[in-house]
Amino acid sequence: MFSAAKDAVTSKAAQVYVNGVIERYGHLEEFRIDSKRNRVEMVCQLIGETTPIGVTIENYRVEVEGDQKYIMVLESSATRPWMQAVMRDHLNGRRFALPGWAAAAL
């Protein structure tokens, strides 16, 4: 129960944060974190696309180095082949520093 509530709050904060990062490309309509399954599901409306794109981080790992936490994307998928290829080339296997609020939540 607590985990689901924490995920819901973190998902809303993450949606606002990610929308700021991707505003040149579009926006997120939905963002859901399932920290028990290490899974993130998003629905994006990208500029130039006529319908939303589903994006899923199928599996991620949180790593700690010193006092900094990172997220490493292990597997991902998308509802558009071109987006899935971009994610596999530029997202899978890379790690990204987490903002403090996200590091505490994950």
Global pTM value: 0.87
Confidence of residue 104 (pLDDT cuts 50, 70, 90): low
Q: Please report the pLDDT score of residue 21 as a whole number.
A: 93
| b/e map 52-90, b = 16+ CB within 10 Å | bbebbbeebeeeeeeeebebebebbebeeeebbeebeee
Distance of alpha carbon 32 from alpha carbon 25, whole angstroms: 20
Residue 23 has pLDDT above 70, yes or no: yes
Residue 106, pLDDT > 70, answer no
Question: Percentage of the chain surpassing pLDDT 90?
Answer: 77
The domain segmentation of the chain, as residue ranges, is 2-105
Please write the tens of the pLDDT for every residue from 51-83. 999 999 999 999 999 989 999 999 999 999 999
